[in-house]
Amino acid sequence: MGLFNKKDNEAKSDESREINAEGWDAITNECERVYPAQKNPKHYGTLISWELGGNDPLDGISIYDGGDYWHFVTYGLSELYEKESDDKDISGYGMEFTFKLKKDNYEDEEAEIKCICGILQSIARITFTKGEIFDVYEYLYTGQTQGIDTKMQSNITGFITIPDNQLQSINTPNGKVDFVEFIGAANDELVAVRNKEIDVKALYEKIGSDITDYNRKSVI
């Protein structure tokens, strides 16, 4: 069930997690470097943890207000509490996911925010179940042609990845963590990348923004 589950016969109480959350705090500190006035961002926690049989591997997702967009940051792909993996240089899977959703006249903005949280949990589940590491300048294409928005009407059907251009890689007490940012991509764009007609870096340059806009037309 993932790289850094509980070790045998080592029970971790909620109290110990609250006391020893240096990995969690390191992520929050980096977010507050970018958003110093936001000490209490939107946050969606997981009710039943993955290690206790829950369906969501991430412990939580914070959403910061970037002005004209929402900036999502995951907690759980790195080691948030005590060190458990053998690699001292890397914290957990060595990454956390980020995503920026453009604010718009959504019929239900909260539903759109929760939808993105669900998608990030689903991507993280791939890592936890299959050990797949998502690096920068990669793409995630499933063949889905429906939009990733709640109404499934957007041209945005999948993702490319870049290094988050605001959150810097951090060295935590449990090892290094990189912030891998997902950017929404249209079906035509993803097919072009898959067919090697364009690479991810070039596509990102053509898109011209790391903020996902559900109303954006394909650049291919």
213 lies in some domain: no
119-149: pLDDT as tens digits: 999 999 999 999 999 999 999 998 889 999 9
pLDDT value of position 52: 66
212 lies in some domain: no
81 lies in some domain: yes
Nearest CA to 207 out of 198, 218, 196 is that of: 218
35 lies in some domain: yes
CA distance 80 to 57: 12
70, 103 Cβ separation under 8 angstroms: yes
pTM of the entire structure? 0.90
Q: Phi, psi (5° rounding) for residue 118?
A: -65, -40
152 lies in some domain: yes
Question: How many domains are contained in the chain?
Answer: 1
CA distance 149 to 119: 10
Return the structure tokens found at 35: 């958003």
Task: Please give the full DSSP string across the chain, using - where no structure is assigned.
Answer: --TT-PPTT----HHHHHH--HHHHHHHHHHHHHSTT-SS-EEEE-SS-GGGT-S---SEEEEEE-SSEEEEEEESSS--SS--SS-SSEEEEEEEEEEEEE----S-HHHHHHHHHHHHHHHHHHHHHH-----TT-EE--S--S-SSTTS-SSEEEEEEEE-SSSPPEEETTEEEEEEEEEEEEHHHHHHHHTTSS-HHHHHHHH--SSB-TTPPP--
In single-letter form, the type of residue at position 81 comes to Y
Beta bridge partners of 98: 73, 181
CA distance 137 to 204: 9
CA distance 143 to 100: 22
Question: Could you read off the pLDDT tens digit of each residue along the chain, which spans 220 residues?
Answer: 344 333 333 444 444 444 689 999 999 999 999 999 999 999 999 877 777 677 899 999 999 999 999 999 999 999 999 999 999 999 999 999 999 999 999 999 999 999 999 999 999 999 999 999 999 999 999 888 999 999 999 999 999 999 999 999 999 999 999 999 999 999 999 999 999 999 999 999 999 999 999 999 999 9
217 lies in some domain: no
CA distance 157 to 38: 31
> What's the domain range around 134?
14-207
pLDDT value of position 8: 37
Beta-carbon neighbour count of residue 1 at 10 Å? 11
3 lies in some domain: no
**CA torsion sign, 169 to 171 to 173 to 175?**
positive
5 lies in some domain: no
